[in-house]
Amino acid sequence: MTEALSLDAIAVNFGTMPGLADVTLTIANGERVVLLAPSGAGKTTLLRAIAGLEPVLSGCVSIGGRPVTNDPPESRGAVYLHQTPMLFPHLDVAANVAFPMRLRRVERDVTARRVAELLASVHMSELAGRKPGSLSGGQRHRVALARAMAAGPRMLLLDEPLASLDPGLRQEVRQVLARTQLDGTGMLIATHDLDDAVLLADRVAVLLGGRIAQVAPAAVLFRTPATLRVAAFLGIPNRINGRMERGVFHSALGQVPVRDTAPDGKTAAVFAADAVTVARSGERATVFGEVIEVHSHLRHPSIIVRCGTVALEALAPRPVPVPGTTVGLVIESSVIHLLPGGDDA
């Protein structure tokens, strides 16, 4: 079975500056992949290069199993959706959705039927005759998505589709993206938002330093980041530097029980805040420390506990301990991830 997208070691410049190098990625038919990267890392450049809107210096782009590296954008089979839905203001909603089919001279009744189907799928049937200027931001995104699907692409490339939307619209557009029937079309969504990645992706590709640093399902990615750089970008708060010696991890916290394995030598242990809980009475604590800070997150408050030279973030118990309180922490050994190399990995 062919892939919707295959990038083989492609390199793309940022204008005249060196940018992306050796980017390799495959997306299966019908798969949603989120391209997760900090701002300025080259997400837009990569999407535009796949779409044929930026030149690829080297490597190969294949869409639907067909090499398209040197093909013009209109014959690649990839639709690029800008962060702002670029609906043509001189056309009404239905004509916008019909645009790709008109280009291909599809018969009028076939076009009309398909446009009606697509507008129904994004709940926009009743606004078919409206001009884009009279639509809300969320409605525009929905029409842009319907228009993209009308082109029958092998790949949909969405550039920060949820950026600059208020929380209500964000949720609306997120649901539309999650419910879109891909029918074999691959979807690559660029974002810097971790929540979007978790909620939308079958797999997440992390783009750092001009390369794909890791590709994995979101749950795997957050539990087992490939490098300390990936872990830091994902916001995994806990990191303990130490050494592996004959299968045992030694650190400033002493001998920390871990189930993961790593070769002997310099090693870092990384784990999320929800891997660390405050020991209840009678429960055996892994380490003891003093609460130095309370983070009042909306859903899950957390505490920062100083354990000697190491600060750990843990889920806050109820009631939340005040700074200065000494607590025992239990670290879930099964979710500690070891990264060989420690500091420089």
Partner 1 sequence: MISMPTVARRGLLPILLLSAFMPLAILMLVSVGRDWFFPALLPGTIDLTGWRTVLGSGARLRPALIASGVLAVATGVAAMVFGAFAGSAIASARGWRRVVGAGAAFLPVAAPPVAVATGLHATLLGAGLGSSIVGVFIAHLVPACGYTTLYFLGVFTVREGGFEDAARTLGAGVLDVIRRVTIPMMRRELLEAVLLGAIVSWGQVALTLVAGGGRVRTLPLEVMDYLMAGQDQLAATGSLLLAIPPLIAFGVLRLALRNVEMVLP
> Where do contacts with partner 1 occur on this chain (CB under 8 A)?
15, 48, 51-53, 72-76, 78-82, 84, 86, 88-90, 99-100, 102-104, 147-148, 151, 157
- Phi/psi for 132 (5° steps) reads -55, -35
- d(CA 85, CA 65) in angstroms, rounded, equals 28
- d(CA 92, CA 313) in angstroms, rounded, equals 52
- d(CA 26, CA 60) in angstroms, rounded, equals 12
- d(CA 76, CA 276) in angstroms, rounded, equals 48
In angstroms, what is the minimal distance from the CB of 55 to partner 1?
A: 14
Helical (H) or strand (E) element with 268: strand 265-271
Q: Which is nearer to partner 1, 35 or 81 (CB)?
A: 81
A 10 A CB-CB count for 194 gives 17
Q: Which is nearer to partner 1, 98 or 331 (CB)?
A: 98
Q: Which is nearer to partner 1, 79 or 213 (CB)?
A: 79
- Count how many Cα atoms sit within 13 Å of the Cα of residue 326 in the half-sphere of its side chain: 4
Q: Which is nearer to partner 1, 51 or 331 (CB)?
A: 51
In angstroms, what is the minimal distance from the CB of 253 to partner 1?
A: 52
Exposed/middle/buried for residue 313 (C-beta within 10 Å: 0-12, 13-18, 19+): buried
In angstroms, what is the minimal distance from the CB of 68 to partner 1?
A: 12
Longest dimension (CA), the chain: 75
Helical (H) or strand (E) element with 251: strand 248-251
In angstroms, what is the minimal distance from the CB of 223 to partner 1?
A: 36
In angstroms, what is the minimal distance from the CB of 143 to partner 1?
A: 12
Q: Which is nearer to partner 1, 74 or 126 (CB)?
A: 74
Q: Which is nearer to partner 1, 76 or 170 (CB)?
A: 76
In angstroms, what is the minimal distance from the CB of 82 to partner 1?
A: 5
